[in-house]
Structure 1
Amino acid sequence: MPNSDYSARHLSVLEGLDAVRKRPGMYIGSTDSRGLMHCLWEIIDNSVDEALAGHGNQIDIVLHADTSVEVSDRARGIPVDIEPKTGLSGVEVVFTKLHAGGKFGSGSYAASGGLHGVGASVVNALSQRLDVQVDRDGKTYAMSFRRGEPGVFDDATGISPSNPFKPFEDASVLREVGKVAKGVSGTRVRYWSDPQIFIKDAVFASEELFSRARQTAFLVPGLAIGIEDRRGQEIAKHDFKYDGGIAEFVEYLAKDAALTATWKLSGSGDFNETVPVLDESGNMVSREVSRKCDVDIAVRWGTGYDTEVKSFVNIIATPKGGTHIAGFEQSVLKVLRSQVEANARKLKAGNDKVEKEDALAGLTAVVTVRLAEPQFEGQTKEILGTPAVKNIVANVVSKALLEKFNSPKRDDKSQAALLLEKVVAEMKSRISARTHKETQRRKNALESSSLPTKLVDCRTQETAGSELFIVEGDSALGTAKLARDSEFQALLPIRGKILNVQKASVSDMLSNTECASIIQVLGAGSGRSFDLDVARYGKVILMSDADVDGAHIRTLLLTLFFRYMRPLVEAGRVFAAVPPLHRVEVINAGSKANEVIYTYSQAELEELLSKLAKAGKKYKEPIQRYKGLGEMDADQLAETTMDRSRRTLRRVRVEDAAAAEAMFELLMGNDVAPRRDFIIDSADGFERERIDA
């Protein structure tokens, strides 16, 4: 933007904000949708900081159809009086001065989020237009900015960022635009992101906004966050408010059945830090200051093996962890390791050591710390770097966990015992899986194999191109043996319905013969220790009967693969065979051989018969209906299901892991009520004719 548009009195402000416009990535990470969302959360975090300080319990966010976004709160309102050093109103200082506001030195916030006090001014610099209104002292004050410069828009034809704009020349004016009742206060900020800065495709992501708002509402108990999306044909509204805090957050995040209750681990610690501060004459000097770090953690172990740990510093998410997570994990491992060693004989743990992955298996945790002026690695705050936090968190966690393990309460004792049993089971399964991985490699001419005797292996030594068919029943196995290409197709029969691993523990799964055989044959381990690179087969094909029981067996097998061998599914290496349901032999006239046509559904059969009737062709009756794979002869099975050139396979994909996890838990998990509701709700839309087709 040409400098001629700027008045002389704003040169110092614009010089500072020009740096933001020239290198926005330094401040917001990127200029795509991610950066756009970062700007929005800088404004929202200012309101959240007020709520954290005990001012205001309501934040409203509106996504307008004209690409603008509005954030309003009912907190104290930005100060409107004159700041003595600059001679500017508090509102103008907050929105035009970098590193200004209540987040520095002895400001208003003991612990706050945001971009180190540059948030509002950065958003202002990167906005085509920004309007702010403040309710305070019985009045409503307003000020507008264009790309960081204060002035007045001519809104005679309606509010728009393209309206004529006149910058202030002599002195800025914080306009009084209305009155409010006594005691009413708050701030409203509406801004239009600058198309000169952000790429054309940058948009506010609704789901990300809802997820973060929900997360914030969990972290600040009692805070209500309302979101209104007016961009579509219908207005979408969402409200978030949780009084249970991080304990309720853990219950929301946890996907598996509970092994322990949700435990709260809280405490604090003091540390000294040398920081640069401004002295009375305005010079920067180094001083040692005393800090306090508050730690608030909620943990809960479940029956699964996945670990879900969310970490926050002053309610700002730190997705890549940092010193607080290092202290948390170190202390959890240390306490659980000492408890297992102390009860080694009772737990039959032997001399093996518990590792971090054993201790954290099935853990859902929310780790929050609050401290003034935290140090982060990088401007976008993904990693906490304050060194002293590690020991403070470790001490709090260690003390609180030991209290649980030494508690005389019956519930605490039983839960602690269950947790130790789980940790030892995880340790044993890790060691067992590692042993399997080391010994169960693809056998060569010089090696012997301890693979299951019922495995009918293939001859090739190469993983690429090889296929493992998991076959339902011994009767189908006999036919499949004759139908397969023994060079690259291996067969593993399973008897009936395997264990539902969504409900079972890891040890139950490993002790189940069918599950253990599948894991052993694939030779890549299971769960955390699964290594896709050493899987013995390129494709795994589930071949079950085309009936209800066959579909159930296929679902149970998919549950096993999804839960314990998910990388195999994510790599697109798990398939379902598609055996035909009917065999129609069309009678050809004369000496011409009869034509055989296979159909795969009742609808497809009816369509074929209709076509044959129109063409005047006859077919042999009765039409052969396959009730199971064992009813086919080898040639038919090879032709329809196993021959690469003619078969049809359905690849199993995981487009959305979270949605898939939720669906598996709904259909196969412990909780019966939601499954019953799902069946009842879906019953009307189900075609009953499909049960046998």
Structure 2
Amino acid sequence: MSELTAKTSLSANTYSEDSIRALEGLEAVRMRPSMYIGDVGARGLHHLIWEVVDNSIDEALGGHCDLIKVTIHPNNAISVEDNGRGIPTGMHSQFNKSALEVVMTILHAGGKFDKDTYKVSGGLHGVGVSCVNALSSLLVATVHREGKVFQQKYSTGNPQGAVEVVGQSDRTGTTIYFEPDATIFATTEYKYETVSKRLRELSYLNKGIRLTLTDLRETDEQGRHLYEEFFSEGGLKEFVEHLDSTRQPLLPAPIHVEKTDGDIPVEVALIYNNSYSENVFSYVNNINTHEGGTHVSGFRRALTRTLKSYADKSGMLEKAKVEITGDDFREGLTAVISIKVAEPQFEGQTKTKLGNSDAIGAVDNAVSEILGYYLEENPREAKLIIQKVILAAQARQAARKAREMVQRKNVMGGTSLPGKLADCSDTNPERCELYLVEGDSAGGSAKQGRDRSFQAILPLRGKILNVEKAQEYKIYDNEEIKNMITAMGVTFGTEEDSKALNLTKLRYHKIIIMTDADVDGSHIRTLILTFFFRYMRELIEQGYLYVALPPLYLVKKGKEERYAWSDAERDAIIREIAPEGKEDSVGIQRYKGLGEMNPEQLWDTTMNPDNRNLKRITIESAANADYLFSMLMGDEVPPRREFIEKNAKYANIDI
């Protein structure tokens, strides 16, 4: 990789053509798009929006922008408009072309690579808007600056002419309009909810910035386009309140930590609730670091030390006669950590684990100081927290014993596999699959129809425990959960974390949830997913968890039989195999249960790797997933009712 730099001598307030630096060319982006945006599916498609919005957020972080408008157009094009200073349009001394063209056509070119222009910038790898340009069939950049409106058009990253002055303007700002290239992406359809959730998250992480989202593809019953506005005055404090809105709070308000006078600005908000899980979400420069890192280590260190010191002084631990560990201080905790780092260093499998060592001290000092003041000034709330910690310690001891019972070897010296498990003959986990199948009858069909060499079947009887409402030690008493843990070969506990999941002896690299295509099946699937999300999240993060999608219909005409996975697919098959007006010679069977299929049909449609439809479970945003699971499976009814009413039009209801 060659590095091209421009010699600049700029004051912190100057943002001109020579602020732009370039690090490498654009050539490889279209050839290997997944290297730059993650993949060419829905995730990569949405990443294009984040790259453009990040540029506007950078302007806002510098104090030059307070409004960002995102619009989804009828053709699934996107426009992002801000009221920042506008990308410079004059000639760039290094490249002898407009700075706007440099930003739009050279990878890693932008003001964020000049420390005098942006002290801190959003985004993870900073591939920039040029990457979006390379992957768009059309991109139009419009800049309001210096009293004029400048515009340049591009196709697949190539300028379609010079930068032109197309009008006069009394404001400043940049608008980027782009149409994703359909020859690159597997899908070009944007999901409103995905964009909405990210913009809401950004509004909490960057208080005082107004973000709007307009969807021109749909209208409501009054004929208005879908529109949302996101604005937060309280920042992370409001974020935590939103995340915990479906739980019963222990404290009257979140504890808010903010320290901006050091090299690393730190903001933390935390609250305790009556649940049994820990939910800590961390961000660096607005990017979710779901693998944690040094900033999370600093937070945990400060939380444990400060709370333990207060508990020791209060004498409450001595009376309880129970040993306290770091885990106990985090049960029922919801926290959001956000720091801004000038040059973040990322580690981990997905480059979302912060490695900057100075972040530990910055977060530790900020949290220790402000949490210490809070405990001294709020003795009633402090007592509630310590009582919660003591209860957590007692429950942890019970949970450890329960886990040990599940993991204990049988008297013969080997690990006892569940009697219902029909195992596969292959012992290489990379080739092996475990189907978690609803009910004994479907399990029987699956056992007969499977490929015994690499497919194992574990029938689950009835509905497993709702782990959202149960203490941990009770979970390991549930027969179906015990069977799943034993069959998979996972264990719990490391020296650092007694709840950590150990995957070194995982027996299958595909764990597939296969339930009926009806309401009960959906409920069972949600219960299983809740268990995995709360207690085996590493399985999801490493890509081992899947959902099997059995067909909804069998369409027959004479000897011809075709399967359909949706109503639209069913209708298309009918049009294809039956002449107009003859649709009544066509037979349609609606599958509600897996047991309705014989073993051959189940293999052909749902288990054969050549034909089946599997959906890998991913966690795009752990914060949103946490809110969704606690809302759907928790005690609070009103948020669940509101969600069902809002999403009823997407439900597939059998009457």
The interval holding the TM-score normalised by the smaller chain is: 0.5 to 0.7
Q: Secondary structure at the match of 2:199?
A: helix
Contact 1:102 1:117 in 2 (8 A): no
Give me the whole-angstrom Cα distance separating, in 2, the residues matched to 1:565 and 1:202: 29
What is the rounded CA distance, in whole Å, between the counterparts of 2:23 and 2:118 in structure 1?
Answer: 27
- Would you say 1:186 and 2:173 are equivalent positions? yes
Matched, 1:420 2:404: no
1:474-502: CA deviation from partner (whole Å, max 9, x where unpaired): xxxxxxxxxxxxxxxxxxxxxxxxxx998
- Give the aligned residue type for 1:253: L
Q: Deviations over 1:201-241 (max 9, x none)?
A: 35323221111000011112222211122334764222212
Matched, 1:376 2:339: no
User: For residue 214 of structure 1, what is the amino acid of its counterpart?
Assistant: R
One-letter amino acid of the structure 1 residue matched with residue 234 of structure 2: G
The partner residue of 2:364 within 394, 419, 424 is 394
Alpha-carbon distance between aligned partners in 2 of 1:185 and 1:389, rounded to the nearest angstrom: 36
**Partners in 2 of 1:118 and 1:335 — Cα distance?**
40
8 A Cα contact 1:101 1:107, kept in partner? no
Offset at residue 121 of structure 1 (A): 1.5
Shift in alpha-carbon separation, 1:113–1:561, aligned structure 2, 3 A: closer
**How much has 1:250 moved relative to structure 2?**
0.4
Q: CA deviation at 1:43?
A: 0.4
More deviation in 99-108 or 424-433? Answer: 99-108
CA shift at 1:679, angstroms? 13
Change in Cα spacing, 1:371 to 1:354, as seen in structure 2 (3 Å) is same
CA distance in 1, matches of 2:362, 2:468: 37
Q: 1:354 to 1:269 in 2, by over 3 A?
A: farther
Aligned partner letter, 1:310: F
Contact 1:28 1:380 in 2 (8 A): no
SS at match of 1:320: coil
Shift of 1:353: 3.3
Aligned residue for 1:417, secondary structure, equals: helix
Match runs of 1:166-185 below 5 Å = 173-180=162-169, 182=170, 184-185=171-172
Name 2:197's counterpart in structure 1: 211
Residues 103 and 116 in structure 1, CA contact (< 8 A), matched pair in contact too: no
In the alignment, is residue 464 of structure 1 matched against residue 419 of structure 2? yes
The one-letter code of the counterpart of 1:247 is: K
Task: Tell me the secondary structure at the aligned position of residue 248 of structure 1.
Answer: helix
SS class of match (1:348) = helix
One-letter amino acid of the counterpart of residue 240, structure 1: F
The equivalent of 1:298 in structure 2 is: 269
Cα separation, 1, equivalents of 2:137 and 2:645 = 52
In the alignment, is residue 259 of structure 1 matched against residue 250 of structure 2?
yes
- Asked whether the 8 Å contact 1:340–1:347 carries over to 2, the reply is no
Structure 1 residue matching 2:217: 3-state secondary structure: coil
Q: Deviations over 1:420-473 (max 9, x none)?
A: 111111111111222344468999999xxxxxxxxxxxxxx984349xxxxxxx
Pair 1:94 & 2:103 matched: yes
Q: How many Å separate the matches in 2 of 1:128 and 1:565? A: 38
**Aligned counterparts of 2:283 and 2:56: Cα–Cα separation in 1:** 17
Structure 1 residues 121 and 675, CA, compared in 2 at 3 Å: closer, same or farther? closer
Higher-Rg structure is: 1
Runs (5+) with no aligned partner, structure 1: 1-12, 153-172, 271-291, 447-460, 467-499, 534-554, 573-654, 682-693
Structure 2 CA distance, aligned partners of 1:94 and 1:314? 21
Deviates most, 121-130 or 433-442: 433-442
Aligned equivalent of 1:431? 397
CA distance in 2, matches of 1:565, 1:389: 28
Amino acid corresponding to residue 298 of structure 2 in structure 1: G
Give the distance between the partners of 2:641 and 2:132, measured in 1 at CA.
49
CA distance in structure 1 between the partners assigned to 2:335 and 2:90 by the alignment: 44
- List per-residue Cα deviations over 1:190-210 (Å, max 9, x = no partner): 1122234x2333532322111
Q: CA deviation at 1:518?
A: 6.4
Change (3 A) 1:520 1:89: closer
Normalised TM-score (structure 2): 0.61
Q: Is the 8 A contact 1:128 1:192 kept in 2?
A: yes
Whole-angstrom CA distance in 2 between matches of 1:516 and 1:39: 41
| Structure 2: unaligned runs, 5 residues or longer | 1-21, 422-465, 486-491, 504-522, 547-616, 618-624, 647-655
Query: Is 2:231 the partner of 1:241?
Result: yes
| 1:266 partner letter | E
Query: Are 2:467 and 2:530, in contact at CA under 8 Å, matched by a contact in 1?
Result: no
The residue type paired with residue 77 of structure 2 is: S
**Partner residue of 2:330?**
360
Matches of 1:378 and 1:120 in 2, distance apart?
A: 25
Q: 1:140 to 1:679 in 2, by over 3 A?
A: closer
Conservation of the 8 A alpha-carbon contact between 1:28 and 1:379:
no
- Say if 1:381 and 1:302 are closer, same or farther in 2 by CA, change over 3 A: same
Change over 3 Å in CA distance of 1:332–1:320 after alignment to 2: same
**Deviation (angstroms), 1:364:** 0.9
AA at the equivalent of 1:192? E
For residues 379 and 416 of structure 1, what CA distance do their matches in structure 2 show?
38
Counterparts of 1:13-162 in structure 2 under 5 Å? 16-114=25-123, 117-152=126-161
2:299: which partner in 1?
Answer: 328
For these two proteins, the number of residue pairs brought into alignment is 476
- C-alpha spacing 1:140/1:659, structure 2 compared with 1 (3 Å): same
Question: What is the identity, as a one-letter code, of the residue corresponding to 1:257?
Answer: Q
**Alpha-carbon distance change, 680 to 176 in structure 1, aligned in 2, over 3 angstroms:** closer
Aligned partner letter, 1:311 = S
Is residue 405 from structure 1 mapped to residue 375 from structure 2 by the alignment? yes
1:147-175 residue CA offsets vs partner (Å, 9 max, x unmatched) = 222123xxxxxxxxxxxxxxxxxxxx321
1:27–1:122 contact (8 Å) kept in structure 2? yes
**Secondary structure at the residue paired with 1:293?**
coil
Task: Give the distance between the partners of 1:561 and 1:208, measured in 2 at CA.
Answer: 20
- Hey, what's the Cα distance between the residues in 1 that align with 2:528 and 2:164? 65
Q: Does structure 1 retain, via aligned residues, the 8 Å contact 2:109–2:128?
A: no
In the aligned structure 1, how far is the partner of 2:179 from the partner of 2:26?
17
How far residue 135 of structure 1 moved from its aligned partner, in angstroms, is 1.0
Task: Measure the CA separation in 2 of the matches of 1:530 and 1:26.
Answer: 30
> 2:160 is paired with a residue of what secondary structure?
strand
1:321 CA displacement = 1.8
Identical positions, percent: 34
Change (3 A) 1:345 1:382: closer
CA contact (8 A) 1:42 1:115 kept: no
| Preserved contact between residue 324 and residue 390 of structure 2 (Cα < 8 Å) | no
What is the RMSD of the two structures over their aligned residues, measured on CA atoms?
A: 5.0
* Contact residue 532 and residue 567 of structure 1 kept, 8 A: no
Q: How far apart are residue 129 of structure 1 and its match?
A: 1.8
TM-score (norm 1): 0.58
1:398 counterpart SS class: helix
CA distance in 2, matches of 1:434, 1:378: 28
User: 1:420 corresponds to which letter in structure 2?
Assistant: I
